């Protein structure tokens, strides 16, 4: 499934960039001697059948969902996040339930995504998770062109911004919502907040450079794409960006760390109206090899996003 999405090569799908999957390597749980995610998932499925403790089942379900999400099996990942959220009655995981709702959005099941989002808003004791659920609803409303509801919700979100330390991925989501809804002033506001508060984030790199940044297109967005005039370039080689820094020395340190671990990284300067950013990129990766390389990078302790050449 993941490879099929890659072959579509449709730009500007942010979800899997913004939510970087954390894969937990625990002795006796995952295959340690080689990269075999299928074996890892089979091991987890076997363990799930063998344990009855809610806490043990919760841990296995979360790990399994993360692996499934990383390999593009969003349907099973969503189911396992949803089950794990409420398997332990004494310790409900509302963040896992939010991940379930987000994956329903990505799959294109907007009704269930909205229902789970509304549940979080109503019952979640963690107000920040509820706030993030409101951002999910805004993304659903703009896809479905429910602009009257969207305007009210965006106003509510905007009034709550000062109450939370907003994550860069959420600012990017809000920017995208406002761009698609035509709320130009708010789009600029969220972009400015992102650049000011998170200058070295991958989300800032996405909005500041002229390259397409993409991992996988969402099935839901393929069904309900708002912009019909996007030019879809055909790429053979891509780059993998591991960082974007306002201080060159930091980029040099990251480049050295990557090279010490066998990754041939380069530093590319990106000039903006206000400053220069130093992007650390592994260039000229064959598209079909990019996912395997990103997984090897993660095993070595590095995160990366795909960056595509500027469209002509």
Q: What is the pLDDT of residues 146-202, one digit of tens each?
A: 999 999 999 999 999 888 888 888 998 999 899 889 999 999 999 999 889 888 777
User: From CA 219, how far away is CA 312, in angstroms rounded?
Assistant: 26
- The band of 36, judged by pLDDT with boundaries at 50, 70 and 90, is low
The predicted model scores a pTM of 0.60
**Is residue 304 within 8 Å of 241, Cβ to Cβ?**
yes
Q: Is 265 left (phi over 0), alpha (psi -120 to 50) or beta?
A: beta
Which of 9-23, 51-65, 82-96 is predicted least confidently?
9-23
Side-chain-side CA neighbours of 290 within 13 Å: the count stands at 29
The ranges of the chain annotated as CATH 1.25.40.10 are 12-218
Q: What is the pLDDT of residues 210-255, one digit of tens each?
A: 443 443 334 433 333 433 443 434 446 678 888 877 788 988 988 9
Q: Which residue has the tokens 């990766």?
A: 285
Q: Does domain 12-218 bear CATH number 1.25.40.10?
A: yes
The CATH topology of domain 233-312 is Alpha-Beta Plaits (3.30.70)
Radius of gyration of the chain (CA): 20
Nearest to 295 by CA among 107, 99, 40: 40
- The band of 277, judged by pLDDT with boundaries at 50, 70 and 90, is confident
The ranges of the chain annotated as CATH 3.30.70.1070 are 233-312
């Amino acid at each position: 499934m993941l490879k099929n999405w890659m072959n579509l090569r449709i730009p500007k799908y942010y979800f899997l960039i913004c939510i970087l999957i954390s894969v937990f390597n625990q002795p006796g749980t995952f295959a340690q001697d080689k990269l075999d995610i299928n074996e890892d998932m089979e091991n987890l499925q076997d363990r799930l059948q063998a344990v009855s403790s809610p806490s043990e089942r919760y841990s296995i379900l979360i790990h399994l969902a993360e692996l499934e999400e990383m390999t593009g099996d969003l349907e099973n990942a969503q189911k396992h996040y949803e089950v794990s959220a409420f398997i332990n009655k004494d310790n409900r995981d509302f963040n896992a339930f939010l991940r379930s709702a987000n994956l329903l959005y990505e799959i294109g099941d907007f009704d269930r995504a909205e229902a789970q989002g509304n549940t979080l808003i109503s019952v979640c004791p963690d107000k920040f998770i509820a706030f993030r659920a409101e951002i999910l609803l805004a993304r659903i409303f703009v896809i479905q062109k429910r602009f009257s509801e969207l305007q009210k919700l965006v106003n509510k979100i905007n009034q709550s911004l000062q109450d939370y330390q907003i994550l860069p991925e959420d600012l990017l989501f809000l920017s995208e919502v406002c761009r698609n809804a035509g709320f130009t002033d708010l789009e600029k506001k969220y972009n400015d907040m992102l650049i000011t508060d998170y200058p070295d984030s991958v989300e800032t790199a996405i909005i500041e450079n002229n390259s397409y940044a993409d991992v996988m297109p969402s099935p839901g967005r393929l069904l309900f794409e708002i912009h019909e005039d996007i030019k879809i370039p055909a790429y053979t080689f891509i780059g993998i960006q591991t960082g974007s820094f306002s201080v060159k020395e930091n980029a040099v340190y990251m480049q050295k760390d990557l090279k010490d671990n066998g990754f041939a990284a380069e530093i590319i300067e990106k000039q903006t109206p206000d400053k220069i950013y130093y992007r650390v990129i592994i260039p000229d990766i064959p598209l079909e090899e990019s996912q395997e390389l990103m997984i090897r990078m993660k095993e070595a302790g590095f995160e990366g996003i795909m960056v595509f050449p500027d469209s002509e």
